[in-house]
Amino acid sequence: MLKLPKIEIQFASAKLEEKILALVTPKKIRQWVLMVLSNLLGEVTVRFVNQAESKALNQNFRQRDKATNVLTFVYADEQGNFAINRHLQADIVICWPVILAEARAQSKSTEAHLAHLVLHGCLHARGFKHEKPQAAKKMEALEVAALKMLGYPNPY
């Protein structure tokens, strides 16, 4: 039997919700999440935020004083273990204004860029990192393969 996480989609404001849902449906966002997390139980929240919220989270948790495209938070279980391979608890925070600006600057479709960053955040929730070149190569290959299966171009 296929394991599926519970997926919640949140928006920092009604205005932000309106803008995002004009581009993609909640069903499509869930499809992107499940592309990476479909064999896990747990709960995943995808939260769309403005620059102020992204900047505050990035400052508080990463000591970086700027908004960023995606932040991933994975939570520990009762014993203090990060249950990445069993029962996932994670938040994926997407900064909509940064996504829009990056898509324009990189001449990408906003939908394709958003799909990429949701997948990227979900891979972080699975424990993938990209600080070291070999790890980055592996993570990028997984992103490219997932995006291809979803019908999006290679973002690199």
CATH topology of domain 6-150: Collagenase (Catalytic Domain) (3.40.390)
Nearest by Cα to 31 from 155, 156, 152 = 152
**Which pTM does this prediction carry?**
0.92
| Tokens (6 digits) for 11 | 């928006």
User: What tens-digit pLDDT sequence spans the chain (156 residues)?
Assistant: 567 889 999 999 999 999 999 999 999 999 999 999 988 888 999 999 999 999 999 999 999 999 999 999 998 665 555 555 567 899 999 999 999 999 999 999 999 999 999 999 999 998 899 999 999 999 999 999 999 999 999 999
CB 65 within 8 A of CB 95: no
Say what the pLDDT of residue 88 is.
Answer: 85
Buried/exposed code over 66-81 (b: 16+ C-beta within 10 A; e: otherwise):
ebbbbbbbbeeeeeee
Say what the pLDDT of residue 78 is.
Answer: 57
* CA-atom Rg of the chain in angstroms: 15
The whole-angstrom separation of Cα 129 and Cα 8 is 24
Say what the pLDDT of residue 87 is.
Answer: 76
Q: How far is CA 27 from the centre of its chain?
A: 15
Q: How far is CA 150 from the centre of its chain?
A: 15
Q: Which amino acid is at 148?
A: K
Exposed/middle/buried for residue 45 (C-beta within 10 Å: 0-12, 13-18, 19+): middle
In three-state secondary structure terms, 82 is strand
